[in-house]
Structure 1
Amino acid sequence: MAEEYLIQPDNTGINVNAFFEHHYERTAGHFQPNRIEDIKAPVTYAAQYLFDAISPLLVTAVLQQDGIDIGLPSGWRAKSLDLGRVWTKFIDFVNPDDADAGFIMACDLRIEEVRDRDLPIEELVKRIRVSQGERESLAKSNASSDLFRPENSSEIAQFRLYRYESDPGDLEVLTRRELQRCLLRDDDLEAVIRYRVPSRLAVPSDIVLLTSSDKVMEPGAALSALPVIAEFASKFDGFADLMQRHSEIGYVGMDSRYQSLLVAARGTFSHTASFPGSNFAAMIEEMWKRSVAIDVASRMDYITTLTDALLEDGYTSAENDYDCDDGDNRLYARDDGGVPCLYVENAEEAEDEGILVSFRDGRVIVANSDYATPGLRKSTIIDMMVDEKRVEEVTDICGYDDRLAVVIRQALTNIDCAHAALFPDAADDLKPAAPEGP
């Protein structure tokens, strides 16, 4: 069972590199599927940290009746947006390089009742019992009443941040118009960041509980959004004081697997409008390099035996490939001039997209490829030297990208699936999971 641990304020001389390296030293020699998922933990922490710090300011800014239209020094623009939702206010953050790309923040009001202070206690208790049902009904029907009016709301219950793009090229991402339509209908969308404002908003505390109920699922999008939100907040009085005051706050975490990473992350935070800052971004890129390398290297036995089996059985082209689960997991292998190559279809993209893993004499290259055209390598994801399952050196790695992280994770899952199907009696030679604790 996980135990509580404390993430100290960042004025205690945190040695970021020591804590960062400790995470990888502690987990060395152990297998954890999808190490690239580790990135979500520090980015989730960064998102909670910022909103914990500036929520009082954001609430005041959002509830002002005149609306918002602010140009930020970075070129981004924050504007109030009316989508016809009674209990939600919206702020549109528009990208200076593309007016059709950006983020929309949905700010859900706490539905508050206008109560007659002269009501007898019995009537007051009765109202408390039935008012919750009325709130839920009004929220669902997008309506107000004499007792529940949005102009009487003095708090925000939740912030939700969504991204939009001019040319998404991804089923999970919407255009600005599509996103607005979904928000108008109050569709259940996957948010880049979702933050529930604690009801104790105005009550100071020296210790904050680190939650994981709203894990950031798109770290790259969140990292793009956080500096914009911080810069927006910095335009209001009190930002610097709130950030400075929050730097003195301790956090209590419950999942000790990530303790070292989160301590390291806090030591990189910038308490300015550039939050979380360039040092945090550099830490994420280093995590990306190591996690991709470890995820691939830990499966080299699977990759080599699977490649040999596919070559032997004649699965050597997209027209004659191996499918172990009804079209969702297709692979084939080639020997290109003495270099064994494993092609894995990317079922999330167009039919000709895929991932290529080639290996020879310890050098392993993972690349974006054309699945239907053997030998056509579109771009390198990682180029490294591997000794058995141990990463010796990474000579090239592309930058972190949310979509690419999903593609790599799916490709590795497909490799695991195909290996299990072709070698059902093989012993699981992956190394044991890493121990909990710092």
Structure 2
Amino acid sequence: MVFADPGEALARAERVLGEGPPPLHASVAHQVIGIWQRDFGDLRLALTHLRRARDWAARADSAEREADVLGTLGVALVHAGRTRRGLDALGRGVERGTGHTRARVLYRRAYAWWVLGHHREALEDVRRAITVLRQADDVIWTARALTLRATVHLALGAVKQANADFGAAEALWGTTGQEHDKADAVESRGLAAFRSGDVPAALRLFDEAQERYAGLGTPTFMLDIRRCEVLMAAGLPSEALAGADAAVRALDGLGGQSTRKAELLLAAARAARLAGDPQTAIARAALAVRLFAGQRRAWWETHARLVLIEARHAAGRGSGRLVAEAATVAGRLAALGAPAAPEASLLAGRIALDLGRTAEAERYLAAAARSRRGGPPLARLTGWAAQALRAQAAGSTRGVLEACRRGLDVLDDHRMTLGQGGQPRALRGGARPQPRRAQRHPVV
């Protein structure tokens, strides 16, 4: 009930505890309050209630109840930045649970893997969970698992697979009364629309999700992060920065999840960079790097380091050391399977070009240019931008124009929405092509 009617669920759980319940019921009530506080309130209170739920489950001598609570507690610990303890709790939950309960814990561990940026592990756990949840005809948890799998696919650039899972999940949500999950499904469709290149649709869907969340009285920090990303693509980085900073203040006021704070800081850093404020970008990105490192989130930390290097380059801090840092980040992103790896190679090449180190620049630009032949649209755009810079460095005007033409073809084919200041990073700086035709998609 906590995601169907959060306020009523919280009130009922508090009433149960006031009645001196038996251990099993006390465990459930504390878990409900813990979930509410974890997702909508004070994370410290959430941990207190979830530990009590675990203790009451042990007194009830119910391994299944204890496994379920350990899954919820593990996720809360991960969101609090206590990654090792969180994964340990989730592992114990998987071991103690059986059948249907174990599948729900596997889903929660998959979610934790996604938060941490361990996408391969997330896909493996959620795949195992979906099989059992479907067999049990558990509509709600199957829909949640499909939504999670779609989100992981998006992180890896697999938009087609993500859209299929989002569609299947939304069909299931339509048969339930899970209002918060339904709002999340609308938000997810907005994210998929954005990754497919439809910025206006993404913003409309995010507005609809915002209204649904407001009706439930629940915070929207994940939506805030995603809206910032879309606003940047729409050429509105100042608005994105203001939104991210406001969300950080609100999160701090609640005592909310430190994982979300780090993600909001990363969004703010990207927005500040696009808004032409490299010093703010440096400050936000550096703090995000520290938080991600403390949370043992290598995927996120590496992406934050990329933004930090971009901001330092924009602030005029180019150096051989910065080239080496960008190259190192490119290698780490490639090892993580991140679509942004070519961006880091391109950045290393740009910094090297600025320093007059043409041979070194060619090495990094050639590595980035390989992505032009396949992969997600932004990776191919990055590849063609790198190819344009290679041609420019070689004095080939024809090569520059051809690379720019091919990059614009990628934009057209994938319906990427562009506007003043809204170009993907691959086309900012270096060669600056003009569009061959009027843009077909309005900027919102």
TM-score (norm. length: structure 2): 0.23
Q: Which has the higher helix share?
A: 2
Relative contact order, CA 8 A, sep 6+: which one is greater? 1
Larger Rg: 1
Q: Which has the higher strand share?
A: 1
